[in-house]
Amino acid sequence: MKKDINCLTSRKTDKPVVGEIFFGESEFIIGRKKSNEDSVIEVAVTKEQCIKESVVIEQMLSKGKLFTFPKKIQTDISVIDKTRKNATFVVESVETTKELELLHSVLPASYLIRARRLKDSKYDPNGEVIEFYTCGRFENTYNGYLEVIGKLSE
């Protein structure tokens, strides 16, 4: 199956649709693997958000007595790739939720984008997959406009 790129007049948007191609941003350089999917990288996060803290129980034997104590371990789970800034991506899926009014608060609307990196301006089924929000209150929210340069067609 051959997929071609139809060029459009470039436009800026925070809500691209499936099949649109956009340029990478400097906020995409730092990412982290999504916790439940190893092949998806959450971008638009900070270096501090890529630190995972866990507690392990250490044991020590001293003078015939066993001592146990908790120890906090910090692990860096960041996936840094400077080429994401200059890469092109195609939107593979978009998930939206509308604003929901709860009893004491309001859950904001969200717009989740999953995109795949193009290789040599062609669709690559093995390309890197990134994921980020453009609306909502999430750690991996990109608060800018994406520059859409075309649409992928078959």
CA 96 – CA 133 distance, rounded (Å):
10
CA 109 – CA 87 distance, rounded (Å):
28
Query: Is the separation of the CB atoms in 71 and 58 below 8 Å?
Result: yes
Instruction: Quickly list DSSP for 107-130.
Output: EPPEEEEEEEE-BTTB--TTS-EE
- Give the length of the chain: 154
Which pTM was predicted?
Answer: 0.79
The per-residue pLDDT for range 124-152, each reduced to its tens digit, is 889 899 999 988 778 888 988 999 988 88
Q: Residue 5: its pLDDT value, please?
A: 63
Name the band, by pLDDT with cuts 50, 70 and 90, for residue 6.
low
With pLDDT > 70 as the criterion, what percentage of the chain qualifies?
A: 93
Q: Residue 1: its pLDDT value, please?
A: 46
The per-residue pLDDT for range 32-42, each reduced to its tens digit, is 988 777 789 99
The per-residue pLDDT for range 36-63, each reduced to its tens digit, is 777 899 998 989 988 989 999 999 888 8
Name the residue with higher pLDDT: 4 or 94.
94
